[in-house]
Amino acid sequence: MDPNPLIENIPFLSNGHTIVDTLRLDAIHPIISGNKWYKLRYYLDEALKLNATSIASFGGPYSNHLVALSYAAKLNGLKSLGYVRSNKDEPITPSLQEALNYGMELIYLGRSAFNEMKDNLIKENSGINYKGTYFVDEGGYGVSGAKGAATIISDWDNKHESVNNKSTANTNNPLSNYDYIICAVGTGTMIAGIINATEPNQKIIGIPVLKNEGSIESEIKLLLHAAHTNFELLHEFHQGGYAKTTQAQINFMNLLWIETNIPTDIVYTGKVFYAVSQLINRNYFTKGSRVLIIHSGGLQGNRSLAKGILKY
């Protein structure tokens, strides 16, 4: 894996007062897409250092995380185990089938008690267990996950390039020149890493994808190096909740694809780009601002849609 993300300018979202770019983490790998590799990198390192024989984690039936983990484990000579928020008698999703194809063993925990069972398994298997299995929390949540997410920023500073010279970034230290950095928030791991790695004068905005997620801010703060005050969560763009969408969001995602050739998903990135478009219309950003959207990759959620709803 040699991640080399690109920054693209998005005139479709920019206006006379605000410049919008996106960091295309979705393009760094066809399978371990976007922020998944960054969040997993240090967990994988630790599992290998501990001589683990397998790595286990948790996710739903359309989990980008489980697909990425199954492939990353295979690349590193590890077996993989996925605990799924679903039932064994339910039809298998394309995402879970893909994880199976990469060698992941699936264990179905059901839906109603999934979180409780997950928490118990993590408490009982801190680090590596007696069977040689290394456990990672859902979505890569944890200190190591946030440490990896921070390298989204540092990797760009160390090695970067623009697309057709369209990037508005200063090539010496590009990401520090953005006034706002915006990303989706699921477990909070990625945004915590980004907050830790950016400058105090930059405003980090998170778009939670879950409805009525009251604990997410405290979960993010648990992963921060200091008491940062430069971030804000905007809870109004979840489109009904996790994996929920609206016709307005679908229409926007199709228009974004037509205008930019940038694919997004209904669970995470579609909500972020759509949120930015609405914030632009409200003049939310200070005039003259530079805004960077983190395209965190992963299109697994789109597999739950009927064919033809999206144009890509």
Residues 110 and 167 in one domain: no
What DSSP element (H or E) covers 9?
strand 7-9
Query: How many structural domains are present in the chain?
Result: 2
Residues 117 and 255 in one domain: no
Predicted local confidence at residue 1, as pLDDT = 57
d(CA 49, CA 58): 22
d(CA 103, CA 214): 36
d(CA 100, CA 76): 16
In terms of phi and psi (left: phi > 0; alpha: psi -120 to 50; beta: otherwise), the region of 175 is: alpha
Q: What is the rounded average pLDDT of the residues 84-111?
A: 97
Residue 106: pLDDT over 70: yes
Instruction: Give the residue with greater pLDDT, 17 vs 81.
Output: 81
- CATH number, domain of 90, equals 3.40.50.1100
Inter-axis angle of helices 143-158 and 189-197, nearest 10? 50
Residues 85 and 166 in one domain: no
* Boundary (domain end) residue, out of 140, 161, 190: 140
Reported as a single tens digit per residue, the pLDDT across 2-50 is 567 889 999 999 888 899 999 999 999 999 989 999 999 999 999 999 9
Query: CA-CA-CA-CA torsion for 142, 147, 149, 152, nearest 10 degrees?
Result: 180
Residues 132 and 247 in one domain: no
Nearest alpha carbon to residue 145 among 113, 210, 192: 192
> What does DSSP assign to residue 100?
H
- Residue 2 falls inside a structural domain: no
d(CA 294, CA 265): 13
Reported as a single tens digit per residue, the pLDDT across 116-129 is 999 999 999 987 88
